[in-house]
């Protein structure tokens, strides 16, 4: 059976809302890791058979198939096609799945899976302006905001405000420690930007982690979604800008090109879940992908579980009871940020580098998604 392997992965730094990356058009931001990922691998972009890019708010600069526009900006030949997909926050993780499926089926040998979201330039829900939930849908399901879903998850799994504040603080501490130790240096490409005064600077680090936050500061934040709620801005993922790309190949093609595969994809799952609770799909998706890969939860060395809100990984943790040091060891969306369409590839790239740093064998990534869905992926380190 053919295998889909990962040869390379790279991402931009993650910029804060209206931060250092906000002056870059979304298509140009997406083009940067597309250009860099093939450069790092040492292959010509003409060998790429497709670019599959995740992007959630496909409007404005992110409309009209941003994958195709970005690859042309990145100087890929005109013969290389591109497509843009939306599986909400798991969009670029799904891009990895589609790329792997194309390779395993024999349709293609080399595919780039990528993701982008410039939330500063294309605000969240821009593609839903003026649209209310369909009455046929709301007659069948209670449709609420993700923040209220996160509140209900906290209630169902009996997660306290203090637990979520403590988790959020830990996310920042992990991210700052990882940054200070240089753990992100390999995966982040420097990005040159113009400042408001016209001068140039080079961005090499994520803007999101807050060194001065504390449990006391987090505890003073007001609830964001309901008056007596537990979820605050501090326990929610950050609005951010970023782009990432992952280069996948068949193992045979990698060997033919003299490239050393870093990982192989050994399990993929995608599930639907309760559209009201919405963000709990990471739990059944994890169970499904473990079963498909023939592994147990104890076999996994690193877990990347999306930090849409602190209640999501905490509920997941209560279901699986894994070593907390294995969960999001370098922080997550609460500290690093969450450019919606980019996050799936970002989690994958960070997990790859952490497995290589620690010598772990298996990594499991899972993303919760709006309207009640989730993806999960298991990779195995080969080098």
Catalytic residues: 89, 338, 368
- Please report where in the chains the tokens 């192989």 appear, as a residue: 264
- Asked if 361 and 272 count as a contact pair (C-beta separation under 8 A), the reply is no
Please name the residues in contact with 305: beta carbons below 8 A apart, sequence gap of 6 or more.
Answer: 282, 312, 313, 316, 317, 327, 328, 332, 365, 366
Torsion (CA) 218, 165, 93, 316 in degrees, nearest 10: -170
Closest CA to 213 of 184, 157, 175, 267: 175
Task: Identify the helix (H) or strand (E) that includes residue 191.
Answer: strand 191-194
Task: Spell 222-231 as b/e; 16+ CB within 10 A means b.
Answer: ebbbeeebbb
Is-contact 305 327, C-beta < 8 A?
yes
Q: What DSSP line would sit under 355-381, residue for residue?
A: HHHHT--EEEEEEEETTTEEEEEEEEE
Residue 87 exposure: Cα atoms within 13 Å on the Cβ side: 25
CB atoms within 10 A of CB 38: 25
Joined together, the tokens standing for residue 311 give 């209640």
CA distances from 139 to 40, 143, 214, 373 (A): 51, 9, 43, 20
Q: How far apart are CA 211 and CA 177, in angstroms?
A: 10
Check if the beta carbon of residue 52 is closer than 8 Å to that of residue 82. yes
| SS3 call for 119 | coil
DSSP letters, 54-87, are: E-S--SGGGTTTHHHHHHHHTT--TT--EEEE-B
């Amino acid at each position: 059976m053919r295998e889909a392997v990962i040869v390379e992965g790279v991402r931009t730094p993650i910029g804060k809302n209206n931060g250092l990356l906000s002056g870059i058009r979304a298509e140009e931001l997406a083009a940067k890791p597309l250009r860099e990922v093939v450069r790092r691998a040492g292959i010509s972009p003409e060998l790429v058979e497709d670019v599959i890019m995740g992007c959630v708010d496909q409007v404005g600069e992110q409309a009209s198939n941003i994958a195709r526009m970005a690859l042309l900006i990145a100087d890929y030949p005109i013969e290389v096609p591109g497509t843009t997909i939306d599986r909400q926050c798991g969009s670029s993780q799904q891009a990895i799945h589609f790329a792997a499926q194309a390779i395993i089926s024999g349709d293609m040998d080399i595919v780039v899976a990528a993701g982008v979201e410039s939330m500063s330039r294309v605000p969240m829900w821009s593609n839903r302006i003026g649209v209310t939930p369909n009455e046929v849908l709301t007659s069948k399901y209670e449709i609420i905001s993700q923040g209220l879903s996160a509140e209900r998850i906290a209630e169902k799994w009996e997660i306290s405000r203090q637990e979520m504040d403590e988790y959020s603080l830990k996310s920042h501490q992990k991210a700052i420690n990882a940054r200070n130790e240089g753990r992100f240096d390999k995966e982040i490409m420097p990005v040159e930007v113009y400042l408001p005064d016209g001068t140039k600077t080079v961005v090499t680090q994520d803007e999101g982690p807050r060194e001065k936050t504390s449990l006391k500061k987090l505890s003073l934040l007001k609830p964001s979604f309901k008056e007596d709620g537990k979820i605050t801005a501090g326990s929610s993922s950050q609005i951010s800008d970023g782009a990432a790309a992952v280069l996948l190949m068949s193992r045979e093609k990698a060997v033919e090109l003299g490239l050393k595969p870093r990982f192989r994809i050994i399990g993929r799952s995608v599930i639907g879940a309760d559209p009201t609770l919405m963000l709990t799909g990471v739990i059944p998706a994890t169970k499904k992908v473990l079963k498909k890969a023939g592994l147990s939860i104890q076999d996994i060395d690193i877990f990347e579980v999306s930090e849409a809100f602190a209640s999501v990984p905490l509920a997941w943790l209560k279901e699986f009871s894994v070593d907390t040091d294995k969960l999001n060891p370098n922080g997550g969306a609460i500290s690093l940020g969450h450019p919606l369409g980019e996050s799936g590839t970002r989690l994958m790239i960070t997990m790859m580098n952490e497995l290589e740093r620690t010598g772990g064998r298996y990594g499991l990534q899972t993303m919760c998604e709006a309207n009640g869905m989730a993806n999960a992926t298991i990779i195995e380190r080969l080098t």
